Amino acid sequence: MVPDPAPALARLSDDYFRCWLTADPFTATEFGVPGYDAEVPDPGRAAEQAHLAELERIATEAAALDPRALDPQERVTRSMLERLAADRRAELAARRKREAEEYARWRARQDALAEHDRKVRRFLLGFGAAVGTGLVAGIGVAGWLVWHAFAAAGVGLIAVPLALLATAGLVVGGHRCVTVVQHWH
């Protein structure tokens, strides 16, 4: 005598219901199912893999039940279990594919931004070096002109310390203003 598959089908139906609500406790709360109110879905890969494995087990066990030993209503329940498990697995596979595509687009955008940033940094570094070199050359020429202006005026060697003091006074004075402002805060 073949054992009655109805209890196994009822257990599989309960397993599917628990599997579904555990993966989506918000739906359980909407339906008023007790025990899920404080739960939130686990978005991790491990939870998704466990959910898929449970769906696969339910579908496999439902398919193993002999439909000839079931009454018409139980055959519909068995078919629905197989269909629900297959649909949910397809949904999860589609979501995983969509997420992989979104990640690929995001990764491509990040790579493009990194390449653009690298080019901008390279340009600005070259531009900064050219400007810096020009600034140093300009300061050198200005120093040479000041030196010759002082020398032509007969000031001579005393011009160097005076120029250094004037420059230091500007630098320290500017720094002092910043320091005073900083102390006011």
pLDDT tens digits for range 14-36: 999 999 999 989 999 998 999 88
C-alpha triplet 81, 82, 86: angle, nearest 5°:
115
pTM over 0.75: no
pLDDT digits (tens, 9 = 90+) for 137-159: 988 898 788 777 777 777 666 66
Alpha carbons 16 and 29: distance in angstroms, whole number: 17
Is the per-residue pLDDT at 73 higher than 80?
A: yes
